[in-house]
Structure 1
Amino acid sequence: MSANLVKAEQTLAVANPKRKRKWQSYALLFILPSFLIYTLFVIVPTAGSIYLSFTSWDGISEDIRYIGFANFVEILQSTRVHNALKNTLVMTISLVVLENVAAILLAVLVDKVRWFKNLFRSVFYFPTLLSGVVMGFVWAMILNYNFGVFNQMLDAVGLGSWMVDWLGSPKYAMLAIILSTVWKGAGYYMIIYLAGLQGIPAELNEAASIDGAGGWKQFRHITFPLLAGSMTVCMVLSMISALKIFDQIAVMTDGGPGFETETLTYIIYKVGFGELRQGFGTALAMVLFLLILLVTLIQVKFLRKREVQM
């Protein structure tokens, strides 16, 4: 059915109520397959998870005992959950800031370079193509205390006293995960910022340059404010990704040493599948869902307000 024919049908439908109802029926038929799939794989599992969060199910037996709000009360009282929440917030704030700063710097660099621009884009974007598991294994080998490349380089240049068990030390394990995740994710957000940079009229910077504004002033007063829309998208995406981080932790530290790098997503996995407490794990998942929803709404509202002000 061509676009003109569809438009004609819609026009006739407006004039004729019976045709309008017929057109709406056809529209519902087109929507129905997608709605059924969404219901089957999203709505039904979500409803089931809400129910399981009020049970003591172990994930294996057929005995699903309803225990009310006991799981949520335990969440409020558990020091392990409090520690995981703290780690999640520290990791999220760090990743949102560092990933966006690195992405903006890379985007400006790639936008200004004259030669091999596509090569630089590809090199910076390549880590994004790696899965979290692959990236975790790569960095686990690089940061290994005994044979890792990083420690061997320190030893080779006479800085052997700086050698540290980066993934086994409570002081550095979180930092190692954050920096490796920035290495992986910055290239993705760079592409979004690069698209924003290319949408800025060149005449603005040229006029500012004629008026005597240097590179920093042009960036501060022209480029940065006009990147507000791209920044809103990137910060929301990086925040959601950071709150759900799992692969890197599972491969690099397994939540350790101790519980130093255990986040909400990882504790959900540990208690649900390792300790066979699916009911408690599902309750934690509901809390994480509400946390992501709340933080996203606050962040979007703040960033949209900032866009208007800038």
Structure 2
Amino acid sequence: MSTALQQTDKPLAALKPKKKKQWQSYALMFILPSFLIYTLFVIVPTAGSIYLSFTSWDGISEDMRYIGFANFVEIWHSPRVHNALKNTLVMTISLVVLENIAAIAMAILVDKVRWFRNLFRSIFYFPTLLSGIVMGFVWAMILNYNFGVFNQILDAVGLGSWVVDWLGNPKYAMLSIILSTVWKGAGYYMIIYLAGLQGIPPELNEAASIDGANGFQQFRHITFPLLAGSMTVCMVLSMISALKIFDQIAVMTDGGPGFETETLTYIIYKVGFGELRQGFGTALAMVLFLIIMLITVIQVKFLRKREVQM
């Protein structure tokens, strides 16, 4: 009897490797088109960019003279790049903090309000539907010194001394871009935080309320710790978005006044296409890629550790 069972088991065992190979071949057939597209539009251009960063190519001529690390040495010693890096870091830190604070506040408001919840949700989310170019044009008109609505409102309410050139004054240009970007981006992160809030069991806040905890204490000890996962996602996304900010600067200030609002992404565009120094611009893009990757890894590790501690 045992020999008969062994004989019947052998064909089944022999079929398993064949079926596994068939499924592997099917999986490769599904993966191959996507992999080819990814290779063509991501891997190949990335490899080409790495090579271009070691050349003095102007973006037009066929001359791609290899110059080694000369572009990276110039980046290291360039005051303009140092200023752009400083502006990028200031803008990134400000946007990450302000966007997440605004998003959490709006999410709590939408989650707690009883009337017109969908209306508030739509109003807060609407700015994210606008492109950066459209948003930049809108705020450039609002903050215009001569006919901008904001200065007209200040003058109408008796605050004419506060009227300034918000986009032409070095003291306020960066602040204007940051606040307008927060207006545009906070609604997107609000949706993520709102999903996190709705995943918190209401029994926890009810029990804390019975124990005498007020609203702030409930937020500090219950809501905020349980939003750690949503906060990790939102902070990483907002950080990457802030490091790559371009549209608003291009439309609202063109990197000015002077170089006060010029960031790394904008200087890459100006150098590569405005000054016809594609090699130098590509080298700067490689540096920006390494900065984004390094900051993202550090941020994720820190936030994941914070999630465990909470």
- TM-score range relative to shorter protein: over 0.9
Which residue of structure 2 lines up, in the alignment, with residue 228 of structure 1? 228
| Aligned partner letter, 1:60 | I
Moved over 4 A (4+): 12-15
| Aligned partner letter, 1:126 | F
Give % identity: 90
Q: In 1, distance between residues paired with 2:139 and 2:14? A: 61
Describe the superposition over 1:1-55 as per-residue Cα deviations: whole angstroms up to 9, x where unpaired: xxxxxxxxxxx79952233222211111111000000000000000000000000
Contact 1:142–1:149 at 8 Å: present in 2 too? yes
Give 1:125 shift. 0.2
Which residue of structure 1 lines up, in the alignment, with residue 34 of structure 2? 34
Q: In 2, distance between residues paired with 1:150 and 1:68? A: 50
Change (3 A) 1:14 1:133: farther
Describe the superposition over 1:203-258 as per-residue Cα deviations: whole angstroms up to 9, x where unpaired: 00000000000000000000000000000000000000000000000000000000
Q: In 2, distance between residues paired with 1:141 and 1:277? A: 32
Which residue of structure 1 lines up, in the alignment, with residue 150 of structure 2? 150
| Aligned partner letter, 1:168 | G
Q: In 2, distance between residues paired with 1:78 and 1:13? A: 67
Are residues 1:91 and 2:88 paired? Answer: no
Are residues 1:141 and 2:112 paired? Answer: no
Give 1:82 shift. 0.2
- RMSD of Structure 2 on Structure 1 (CA): 1.0
Give 1:159 shift. 1.2
Q: In 2, distance between residues paired with 1:105 and 1:20? A: 52
Which residue of structure 2 lines up, in the alignment, with residue 65 of structure 1? 65
Matches within 5 A, 1:240-259: 240-259=240-259
Q: In 1, distance between residues paired with 2:219 and 2:279? A: 51
Are residues 1:275 and 2:252 paired? Answer: no
Which residue of structure 2 lines up, in the alignment, with residue 17 of structure 1? 17
Q: In 1, distance between residues paired with 2:41 and 2:13? A: 34
Which residue of structure 1 lines up, in the alignment, with residue 215 of structure 2? 215
Which residue of structure 2 lines up, in the alignment, with residue 55 of structure 1? 55
Contact 1:59–1:272 at 8 Å: present in 2 too? yes
Taking structure 2 as the reference length, the TM-score comes to 0.95
Q: In 2, distance between residues paired with 1:141 and 1:14? A: 74
Unpaired stretches in structure 2, ≥5 consecutive residues:
1-11
Which residue of structure 2 lines up, in the alignment, with residue 288 of structure 1? 288
| Aligned partner letter, 1:132 | G
Describe the superposition over 1:136-159 as per-residue Cα deviations: whole angstroms up to 9, x where unpaired: 000000000000000001111111
Contact 1:108–1:194 at 8 Å: present in 2 too? yes
Q: Secondary structure at the match of 1:68?
A: coil
| Aligned partner letter, 1:112 | K
Q: In 1, distance between residues paired with 2:151 and 2:137? A: 16
Which residue of structure 2 lines up, in the alignment, with residue 239 of structure 1? 239
Describe the superposition over 1:249-303 as per-residue Cα deviations: whole angstroms up to 9, x where unpaired: 0000000000000000000000000000000000000000000000000000000
Are residues 1:110 and 2:88 paired? Answer: no
Q: In 1, distance between residues paired with 2:307 and 2:231? A: 9
Which residue of structure 2 lines up, in the alignment, with residue 8 of structure 1? none
Describe the superposition over 1:148-184 as per-residue Cα deviations: whole angstroms up to 9, x where unpaired: 0000011111111110000000000000000000000
Which residue of structure 2 lines up, in the alignment, with residue 6 of structure 1? none
Q: In 1, distance between residues paired with 2:171 and 2:50? A: 37
Q: Secondary structure at the match of 2:147?
A: coil
Q: In 1, distance between residues paired with 2:241 and 2:229? A: 19
Which residue of structure 1 lines up, in the alignment, with residue 263 of structure 2? 263
Q: In 2, distance between residues paired with 1:88 and 1:111? A: 33
Taking structure 1 as the reference length, the TM-score comes to 0.95
Give 1:70 shift. 0.3
Contact 1:13–1:19 at 8 Å: present in 2 too? no
Q: In 1, distance between residues paired with 2:68 and 2:15? A: 55
Change (3 A) 1:281 1:14: farther
